[in-house]
Amino acid sequence: MAFSSAGSAIAAAWERCWFVPALPRPLAIVRILAGTVALALWWSWSADLNTWFGPDGLLPVGAVREWRSPWGMSILDLARSTVVVRGLYLAIGAALVCLTVGLATPLAAPLAAAGFASLLHRAPMLAGPADDCTAVLLWCLVVGRSGDDLSVDRRLAITRGSGTPQPGIRNRIALSLLLVHAAVIAGAALLAQLKADVWWDGSAAWLLSAGSAVPVQFATVFRRSEYLSDAVTHAIALFEGAFTLGVAVPALRRVTGWIGIVGWLLVGVVAGEPWWGAAMAVFAVAVLVNPPTIGRPSE
């Protein structure tokens, strides 16, 4: 009987996690924030676009293919002139804009995710943690119906006399995927850090901030105070561990989300990776807005 009860509890938790319909608004909030971060990262490529990707650029397609995974591909591989490179780049930006504002979202979401991935696959050696995390956010949005609320699509539906947005299983799956990835990314970051001595001796905060491009020169402050560097280093590790645990425990998700939004932004600034911190903060928003279950699965 004990095994039967435990099995029933696990099955019920699994069902609540993946198959109970969720309203689209939480996912719509994530869509707007993730799209904004993606657009900022997309724009960061603009100044050196032809330098890297042009026909006479520093990254020939053949060399990149040897660098990246055999499964990696990019639509930018097809560009043989600066005009085509620029055109494809603008098309990716247009897809990201449509996703962010929620225009033709069912089409814009996969195009934006695939387009953003094309940028990263065209220059994998240039992609950073912010790019990788943002790509995950975009692919999770493909699963759900984030355009059903807080969007141009929703305004157009209202003019056609459409009713209120309805909950759906796809929204729940997308939100759960965001939670899983949030926990996995934070947990993986913590495990990777704990393999390095600098996270045990407290000097990691100083090393991370030494190359920071943000206005506040944390490295100087940490160099003057060993105790402060120790405290910040260990606080980052504790925060990442607490965030991983908090995402996994439903009762802790609301407070975890609020702490995560502030914490990831601060960690990003200290580490000199503010856009990575912003992308992780979007994951924290997904944790915060993840709604309670509203019923049993339905089609």
- The string of pLDDT tens digits covering residues 133-189 is 999 999 999 999 999 999 999 999 998 887 788 888 999 999 999 999 999 999 999
CA distance 154 to 142: 17
60 DSSP assignment: -
What tens digit of pLDDT does each residue of 86-141 get? 999 999 999 999 999 999 999 999 999 999 999 998 888 888 899 999 999 999 99
Give the pTM: 0.88
CA distance 108 to 123: 23
CA distance 265 to 262: 5
Between the alpha carbon of residue 122 and those of residues 4, 129, 240, 241, the distances in Å are 51, 16, 31, 33
CA distance 237 to 183: 14
CA neighbor of 30 nearest in space, from 288, 251, 293 = 288
CB 77 within 8 A of CB 52: no
CA distance 164 to 190: 42
- Domain boundaries along the sequence of the chain: 18-289
Q: Flag the least confident range among 128-142, 223-237, 267-281.
A: 223-237
Reduced to 3 states (helix: H, G, I; strand: E, B; else coil), residue 168 is: strand
Burial (CB count <10 Å: 0-12, 13-18, 19+), residue 118: buried
What tens digit of pLDDT does each residue of 21-33 get? 889 999 999 999 9
